[in-house]
Amino acid sequence: MTDTQPTGTQPTGTLLERRNPTVKVALLCAVSLTTLFLFDLSVLAWLWGLGVVGALATTRLGARRLVLAHAPFVAFGVGLVAVNAVTRPGPALVTVLGMDVTRAGLAVGAALALRALLIGVVTVAFLASTPPRELMVSLTRHARLSPRYAYALLAAHRMLTAMPRRWATIRAAQAVRGSGPALPEAGRAVVTLLVGAIRGAERTALALESRGLGSGPRSVWHVVPLTWADGVFAVVVTGVAGAVLAFA
């Protein structure tokens, strides 16, 4: 799990921590959607570079944590380059292990890899600046997400944070009993994890119902604001991205 969860928010946080989570979700979706149509390496490289600078300037992520957080996205990108280089038609640049590496294949693979890096850096910045509670409160107020789903998701998120530890405990218990073949044992561990989660869900539903969730309009204690600064932020980000698309 990427260790990028912020410790708190937020009026006094960094620039990105102070921004409204719904606005950040919308921008993240816009970036992801735009990259779907991008295969120009220089544009993607510029956007990724700006994403890195933006993440360093507006979050508490240092260079080291940002590099580490890139690891899964780099691995994903290496796979994309490797397979696309040898499966795209075109004149061969070089032959490796009997497979033709084509220029078109390398270009598409590199573009897809850069796309993954760009989405990765934006996602990491989002995760580092957005506590789940603020995200859910904002989505219920500004994106009209049903509180029944939002609070259930928040409760389940608490389970999520404990899940790696639960998984390790189950696997350790299996090891103590003397484990059999790895795959069936992992399957049993999944069933155990699910059973624990389902029983937890029943208890959570009872607790939420006893607190009147879904019985009428709700108020929240710490309101997540949506201000003119969020509008300026959205305009600046889309403006900069638009300028790169136009001129790079």
Partner 1 sequence: MSTELGRRAPRLALKDVVLMVTLGVVFGFLYWVFVQAWNGLAVLMGPAGDLAQHVLLGAWLLAAPVAVAVIRRPLVGVIAEVIAAVVEVFFLGSPVGPLLLVAAALQGIGSELPFALGRYRHFGWARYAASGAAGAALVFVFTAFRDAWWGTDLLTVRLLVQVASGVVLGGLLAKVLVDALARTGAVDGFAIGRAQGVIPGRYERRVR
* Interacting residues with partner 1 (CB under 8 A): 1-2, 4, 25, 28-29, 31-33, 35-36, 39, 69, 72-73, 75-80, 82-83, 85-89, 99, 108, 112, 116, 119-120, 122-124, 126-127, 130, 132, 135, 148-149, 152-153, 155-157, 159-160, 163, 190-191, 193-195, 197-202, 204-206, 208-209, 213-214
DSSP string, 115-134: HHHHHHHHHHHHHHH--HHH
CB of 38 to partner 1, least distance (A): 11
CB of 154 to partner 1, least distance (A): 9
CB of 31 to partner 1, least distance (A): 7
How far apart CA 116 and CA 19 sit, in angstroms, is 24
In the bound state with partner 1, the residue whose beta carbon lies nearer, of 214 and 228, is 214
Residue entry with tokens 């300028």: 243
In the bound state with partner 1, the residue whose beta carbon lies nearer, of 75 and 173, is 75
CB of 246 to partner 1, least distance (A): 22
How far apart CA 231 and CA 235 sit, in angstroms, is 6
Contacts with 21 (C-beta within 8 Å, 6 or more apart), sequence order: 130, 134, 135, 138, 139, 224
The gap from C-alpha 143 to its chain's centroid, in whole angstroms, comes to 19
CB of 119 to partner 1, least distance (A): 4
CB of 48 to partner 1, least distance (A): 13
In the bound state with partner 1, the residue whose beta carbon lies nearer, of 199 and 222, is 199
In the bound state with partner 1, the residue whose beta carbon lies nearer, of 64 and 228, is 64
Alpha-carbon dihedral angle through residues 154, 206, 169, 180, given to the nearest 10 degrees: -120
CB of 212 to partner 1, least distance (A): 11
Q: How far is CA 92 from CA 74, 111, 113, in A?
A: 25, 19, 21
**Termini Cα distance of the chain:** 34
In the bound state with partner 1, the residue whose beta carbon lies nearer, of 12 and 170, is 170
Contact assessment for residue 137 and residue 222, using Cβ atoms and an 8 Å cutoff: yes
- The tokens for 91 are 């004149």
Which residues, listed in sequence order, are joined to residue 94 by a DSSP beta bridge? 101
In the bound state with partner 1, the residue whose beta carbon lies nearer, of 12 and 181, is 181
In the bound state with partner 1, the residue whose beta carbon lies nearer, of 46 and 126, is 126
